[in-house]
Amino acid sequence: MRCVAARAIALGAALWSAEARAQDSVGLNTHVPGSDLLDECVDLGVRWIRVDGNWLDLNPASGRYTFATMDAVVDGARRRGLRVFMTLAYTPLWVPRVARARSDAYEGNDEPAGSAEWEAFVRAAVEHFRPRGVTHYGLWNEPNLSGFWESSADAWIDKIALPGQRAVRAACADCKVLGPDLAHVGSYETFLDRVLVRAPAWDILTHHIYNGWPETGTTIFSGDNFLQALETRRLPITRAALREVLDARRFTREVWITETGYRAAPGDPAAEARQAVYVRRVLEEQLPRAWWTNTFFYEVMDCGVDDPMCPIDGFGLARPTRPLSMGGERSFPRDYRLKPAYLAIRDFLRTHPAILSETPPDSGVSDASRVDAPVDALPDSAAPDTAPPDAASDLGPALPDMAPEAPPVDSAPEDRPRMELSVTDRPSLDAAEVLTPEDTSATDSARTDAQETPSPDTRGTTPLPSAGCGCHAAPPRMSSISWVFLALLGRRRGRGRRACAARAP
């Protein structure tokens, strides 16, 4: 197995050497940031921000677009020299959808009945934001999780990926199409392989990895560590690493890790120290890898100060010292405590300038001069197949040594266990509900978390669509808590939009 893995890595390196060397950078997940959070990004030293260009917010009715709040975010970022990666996602209520039995009360993960509305929105968004300097667009978020996409990989390819790729390129010749932003959980490799076969025309491939490090407590018995998820699988029976899947399909363009991070339980100094170790290890490993060219840490600030119900509180690099409800708009750094992870990133960026080797940010200059050449057209392989989606022949040649999927865990709860909180974060969790560390079943009833170590602070995040202003709306691996939180999502998202508008830069 090690020989096979070594050959795969060597193949990837050889293929990459034929490509132009892309330039490194670092970014931060910011959702819909105000001036204070943009100032934080500048002080931290990152060059990029990832923002939530939610379809359901920016296009609330057919033919109507509400870009004003995001205009303020983009303009504020560009004035500060920050580049913007905008993720477009989530189905509005007005769009006709595929008739099916609903599994939740959230509308944004529904499959549209067609692709015309999505394609029109993507084109309108790109045409609007490109003159403001936005050149990088993501198509959806974690579509391999039903919390974000309640349908198949083929449906996502047909309704979202292929139409979105066409729309971005039709609207902007020098823009980049990014995706598929999969969560590194369950049988993600099956979904990714399908995408690489049918919709491979990504200028940059994006992926989410929250797996821990040996230095933060991850062992061979607790699950894949970060590098095993990234490059070489832990065991022959565990899920394939990202690089293995890409090499099997000879994908040689840039890779960005657009979500990674570590939840440090609020008020736990030891956990915050481990969070600092986590982010430093990520940067140390990005730097020598030519194919991995950007990392977006999750996330800009802790969400629990403004929303005590936020179940992913602790992922932030900074923690507000007061809620918005007490005194209104915050400013940076006056109203924030900088966590050790923040200081670790800032120090690393200052002492390792090579990781910021890209062309310095501008205020709207075309991105066409970057060394990563765009994909000019969809290849023939992007044409939809006619064979059944689950047919083995549909995926082309099998991935080398692809791990067989483990059977579902009988004791796994049925209400989305892949989105449960970590075991020690859930005081009401019975022992019978605990999933095994390496359950790689593709079924929703047996999904595992991205970070598989038992430590409560080494769990990754599988967030639901943004609730606005720096807080996603759901935690990793949530069961009954998820439904309580989803019930509040609509009310919370409305409040978040108002707060964002009030705090626009």
Q: How far is residue 495's CA from residue 467's CA, in Å, rounded to a whole number?
A: 8
Say what the pTM is. Answer: 0.73
Is 356 part of a structural domain of the chain? yes
Q: How far is residue 457's CA from residue 2's CA, in Å, rounded to a whole number?
A: 31
Q: Residue 424: how many CB atoms within 10 A of its CB? A: 13
Is 423 part of a structural domain of the chain? no
Is 52 part of a structural domain of the chain? yes
Q: How far is residue 138's CA from residue 178's CA, in Å, rounded to a whole number?
A: 5
Average pLDDT over residues 353-373: 51
Average pLDDT over residues 208-224: 94
Is 345 part of a structural domain of the chain? yes
Is 63 part of a structural domain of the chain? yes
Q: Which amino acid is it at 450?
A: A
Tokens of 68: 């004003």
Q: How far is residue 287's CA from residue 298's CA, in Å, rounded to a whole number?
A: 19
Query: Tens digit of pLDDT for each residue in 111-155?
Result: 999 999 999 999 999 999 999 999 999 999 999 999 999 999 999
Instruction: List the one residue out of 51, 97, 98, 60 whose CA is nearest residue 78.
Output: 51
- Residue 113's domain comprises 2-367+497-502
User: Tokens 């913007």 identify what position?
Assistant: 84
Is 446 part of a structural domain of the chain? no
Is 485 part of a structural domain of the chain? no
Q: Which residues, including other chains, have CB under 8 Å from residue 270's CB and lie 6 or more apart?
A: none
pLDDT band at 427 (very low <50, low <70, confident <90, very high): very low
pLDDT band at 100 (very low <50, low <70, confident <90, very high): confident
Tokens of 315: 């992922």
Give the CATH number of the domain where residue 243 resides. Answer: 3.20.20.80
Q: At what angle do helices 116-129 and 162-171 cross, to 10 degrees?
A: 30
CA dist list (Å): 145 to 14, 261, 337: 33, 18, 33
User: Tokens 């990004």 identify what position?
Assistant: 41
Is 294 part of a structural domain of the chain? yes
Residues 140, 376: contact at Cβ < 8 Å? no
Q: How far is residue 232's CA from residue 11's CA, in Å, rounded to a whole number?
A: 13
Total domains present in the chain: 1
Q: At what angle do helices 68-79 and 489-502 cross, to 10 degrees?
A: 50
Q: Which amino acid is it at 234?
A: R
Residues 107, 98: contact at Cβ < 8 Å? no
Tokens of 443: 């079924």
- The answer to whether residue 52 scores a pLDDT higher than 90 is yes
